Amino acid sequence: MRSKGKTRATAIVAVAFWLVVWQVASALVNERVLLVGPATVLTRLAGLVRQGEFWYSILNTLKRIALGFLLSVLAGIILAVLAYRSRVVKTLLSPLVKTIKTIPVASFIILLLIWIPSRNLAIATSFLMCFPLVYANVLEGLESTDRQLLEMADLFRIPQRKRITSIYLSQVMPFFHSACSLGLGLAWKSGIAAEVIGLPDHTIGDHLYQAKTYLDTASLFAWTLTIALLSVLCEHLVLGLFRQLARKLEVAA
């Protein structure tokens, strides 16, 4: 308990330090178009929170990014299992996954704009950016499974369901957890970038672009802070749900 309290206090001090640095920098620059202080940003955010458009835009962006991320998790797990069981599948998927990983996000967004409506751009971009992470991490977790445990399972003729929940799940979960933690942040970054370029109506990306166009720096910072908070909140919720699901599967086994 003391360790947790000390860690929390240290984090608060670090945040306070950088807020002071931010405020001092804003005062030195003394130009609202270039840099506004944290108090101004929080005031602007408080004003946005009272608007229905704020919450409607968040909902639109959230559901698209969430859908893209969940599709990437589903596809990544399924294809990783197939690649683990078949060397042919693994060989065929390898160049595709490497290509997706190396192509810049902006290039993907521009290419996708040719093929799909801008309202679906965040879904497709989030999916493509997160899929390689999930696939590679789940596959690595499967391939690192303790061979002695698998041999023991064969020896005692343990059913496949029991092997999945008792052996594979415990081996893969750390890799899957890491993929989701990194993937959620990447999903938000790439999804918002897609909205800024595609400009679908009533989205966070659309408001960011408008703030930039009208040199509304306070709104730009306020929306950026909103994105950061949403990303952290989603990460805690999603990872917590996956951990609970893993525990239930282990108990059911």
pLDDT of residue 153: 62
pLDDT of residue 68: 96
Residue 226 has pLDDT above 90, yes or no: yes
pLDDT of residue 171: 82
pLDDT of residue 243: 79
Share of the chain residues as helix, strand and coil, in percent rounded to the nearest 5:
85, 0, 15
pLDDT of residue 182: 92
Q: pTM here?
A: 0.89
pLDDT of residue 61: 96
Which amino acid, one-letter code, is at 236? H
Rounded to the nearest 10 degrees, the angle between the axes of helix 52-85 and helix 121-143 is 40
Three-state DSSP at 76 gives: helix
Cα separation, 18 vs 15, whole angstroms: 5
- Closest by CA position to 79, among listed 68, 92, 65, 67: 92
pLDDT of residue 206: 95
Q: Can you read off the two tokens belonging to residue 100? A: 């997706």
What single DSSP character describes residue 32?
T
Rounded to the nearest 10 degrees, the angle between the axes of helix 52-85 and helix 169-198 is 130
- With beta carbons less than 8 A apart as the criterion, state whether 202 and 212 touch: no
**What percentage of the chain exceeds 70 in pLDDT?**
87
Q: What is the pLDDT of residues 113-142, one digit of tens each?
A: 899 999 999 999 999 999 999 999 999 998
pLDDT band at 253 (very low <50, low <70, confident <90, very high): low
pLDDT of residue 115: 92
Q: What is the pLDDT of residues 165-218, one digit of tens each?
A: 667 777 888 899 899 999 999 999 999 999 999 999 999 999 999 999 999 999
Q: What angle do CA 39, 42, 45 make, to 5 degrees?
A: 150
Q: What is the pLDDT of residues 3-14, one digit of tens each?
A: 666 777 888 889
pLDDT of residue 252: 55
pLDDT band at 64 (very low <50, low <70, confident <90, very high): very high
Cα separation, 209 vs 220, whole angstroms: 8
Average pLDDT, the chain: 88
